[in-house]
Structure 1
Amino acid sequence: MPRYSLVAIILHWAIAALLAFQISVGWALEDLGARGFALYQWHKSVGITILVLTLLRIVVRYWKPRPAKLEGGWQGALASGVHFGLYAFMLGAPLSGWALVSTAKVKVPTLLFGVLPLPHLPLPAGAHELAEGGHGLIAWLGIALFLLHVAGALRHHFLIRDGLIWRMVPGRSTALLIILPALMLLGLVVGKAILPAPAPKAAAAVEAPEPQENIAQPANVVEAAPDIAAANVTEAAPEAPPAPPPAWTVQPGGKIGFSVGNDGQTISGSFAKWTAAIVMDPDHPETADIKVTIDMASASVGDAYQDGMLPGDEFFAVAAHPTATFTAKGAEKSSANAYRATGTLSLKGVAKPQTIRFTLSGDGATRKVSGTATIARAAFGVGNGESSGGLAPQVALTFAFTAKRKD
């Protein structure tokens, strides 16, 4: 029986194993967030490798034509359609992925296997949504075609018994007949094995800390901002010293967000982990004593590629500077229920003066706090690399949370 050339056989099984790896990895990437950044780089590298091997396979197909078809009718037409679809998949998936990366808001550099830079395609940013949707659709169609191709090969070998599969096995070797298809299983297993371990589940609720002097310990999210709302202070006896300002506990459910312009668009994100120690009498804002600590590794803009870049030296340098802090002693009232506090922001090993503005609403023992700040990122060395060229110099910070007075 006529057989495919050795080059075609090698390319066929190599592409099959790499496709199995891509399917195994791609299935899980969406749920990994920033933890999947390194795996995304592998996914891109393997995708471009499949593109190159497929182009080579097409050249070989015309250089050394394939053996004649063994089956006609609708079954033969279906087999031809599946083959054509597989070639379209093997070309379309990596090309749409390349377009997706090239049109992202932040241009994430791609180093193929950590060595060879992959240039971005000259496509408009408006094509990003089309590339993203197309890549996902092509992937699902490719999986269906992949399974149909395997099912067809099994049908010919075990049901029709026409020996068709031997055309893709060198020397009609029984050992290779087992080893070569096993490469696809190996690709699936390796893809699954290199996935990052699941992230620990966050507690559903954070238990309020025991009252401590001058400390308010928040249970979740967000910002470096001062805040406090004091309840009505009972008048002390004329000779008694003034009562100390109350401490406040930030309640779960708040948010610290940030946004920055990027070539006419806006990138928005937030910090998921922070703590705050807040003391302040709203009627006497000069009593404010504020310290907010942000876990910089918790920053996210909702895109795994970009989230994977944030901890790096170009942005937050989390390995050397895992936290950022804002501290302020005293605040001033700027208008009814509105305040301004000037303190020090320490970020990425640099300490600079920073002003935040916030408002308080409500009364009694619970106050709602919302505020803003504008941070000059270059002063802290944030966004100092090639992929940050389009970022605006100012980062807008917003925060909103509820604070409860300690008894």
Structure 2
Amino acid sequence: MFGAAWCAAGAARAQLETTASTIVAVSRQMGVAVQGSFTKFDARIAFDPAKPAGGTARLVVDTGSYDLGDQTYNDSVRGAQWFDAKAFPQAIFSSTAIVPTAPNQYRVDGKLTIKGHTEDVSVPVVLTQQGAMQTFDGTLPVHRSAFDIGTGQWKDTSVVADEVLIKFHIVVARK
């Protein structure tokens, strides 16, 4: 399933451009920015800027694909104290509403589920269209403590900050 994007019933079909799309998480450890990338994810987006309220978005992220660039760190962050990727292999965002806020800018409200816990979130998204290509860019701040990410010795937010920025660049081609 990872790598494909389909629109809602009756809408045009879209294909996720996996090589052009990215999802990264930026955290701060002892005051220093640390960035990792999710290398496997799926996006199902149905969006017509002329009818934004009818749009939908669903992103499914493989938590075991988080890559910090070092295998030891990767193994640690995929483990039980962080993402617990074996027990919770996916993080999921499902939109509940899309509201225009300015030209080509939207607020996407939805449910974010990580490690079996769901929170209501709102994320500002900028849309860029070029021919059949739609690009959705945004940053969603989340608090890792709300999702029980970083337990045991890592629960202390003075070492690893509670706020994490999820930055996404999702590119789809409408068919």
User: Counterparts of 1:385 and 1:212 in 2: how far apart (Å)?
Assistant: 40
* 8 Å CA contact retained: 2:139, 2:167: yes
Cα deviation digits, residues 329-348 of structure 1 (max 9, x gap): 33011111111101001110
The alignment partner of 1:362 has SS state of: strand
Which position in structure 2 is the counterpart of 1:367? 134
Larger radius of gyration: 1
Kindly tell me: are residues 308 and 370 of structure 1, through their superposed partners in 2, closer, same or farther at Cα, counting changes over 3 Å? same
Report whether the alignment pairs 1:333 with 2:127. no
* 8 Å CA contact retained: 1:287, 1:329: no
The alignment partner of 1:316 has SS state of: coil
Kindly tell me: are residues 250 and 323 of structure 1, through their superposed partners in 2, closer, same or farther at Cα, counting changes over 3 Å? same
Question: By percentage of residues, which structure has more strand?
Answer: 2
The alignment partner of 1:286 has SS state of: helix
Which position in structure 1 is the counterpart of 2:17? 251
* 8 Å CA contact retained: 2:93, 2:110: yes
CA deviation after TM superposition for structure 1 residue 305, in Å:
2.1
One-letter amino acid of the counterpart of residue 396, structure 1: L
Q: Percent identity?
A: 25
Which position in structure 1 is the counterpart of 2:8? 214
Kindly tell me: are residues 282 and 400 of structure 1, through their superposed partners in 2, closer, same or farther at Cα, counting changes over 3 Å? same
* 8 Å CA contact retained: 2:46, 2:56: yes
**Pairwise CA RMSD:** 2.0
Which of 114, 120, 123 is the aligned partner of 1:347? 114
Normalising by the residue count of structure 1, what TM-score does the alignment of the two structures yield? 0.40
The alignment partner of 2:54 has SS state of: strand
Report whether the alignment pairs 1:300 with 2:67. yes
Normalising by the residue count of structure 2, what TM-score does the alignment of the two structures yield? 0.88
One-letter amino acid of the counterpart of residue 264, structure 1: G
CA deviation after TM superposition for structure 1 residue 311, in Å:
1.6
Cα deviation digits, residues 343-369 of structure 1 (max 9, x gap): 001110101112222111134321222
One-letter amino acid of the counterpart of residue 105, structure 2: A
Q: Size of the alignment, in residue pairs? A: 170
The alignment partner of 1:310 has SS state of: helix
Pairing 1:169-188 to 2, within 5 Å after superposition? none
Detail structure 1 runs of 4+ shifted over 3 Å in the superposition.
244-247
* 8 Å CA contact retained: 1:362, 1:368: yes
Pairing 1:235-314 to 2, within 5 Å after superposition? 245-253=11-19, 254-314=21-81
Cα deviation digits, residues 296-354 of structure 1 (max 9, x gap): 00001112221111121110111111111000133011111111101001110101112
Stretches of structure 2 that go unaligned for 5 or more consecutive residues are none
Which position in structure 1 is the counterpart of 2:161? 392
User: Counterparts of 2:106 and 2:75 in 1: how far apart (Å)?
Assistant: 36
One-letter amino acid of the counterpart of residue 87, structure 2: A
Pairing 1:116-195 to 2, within 5 Å after superposition? none
User: Counterparts of 2:117 and 2:155 in 1: how far apart (Å)?
Assistant: 19
* 8 Å CA contact retained: 1:337, 1:361: yes
Which of 111, 135, 149 is the aligned partner of 1:382? 149
Stretches of structure 1 that go unaligned for 5 or more consecutive residues are 1-207, 216-243
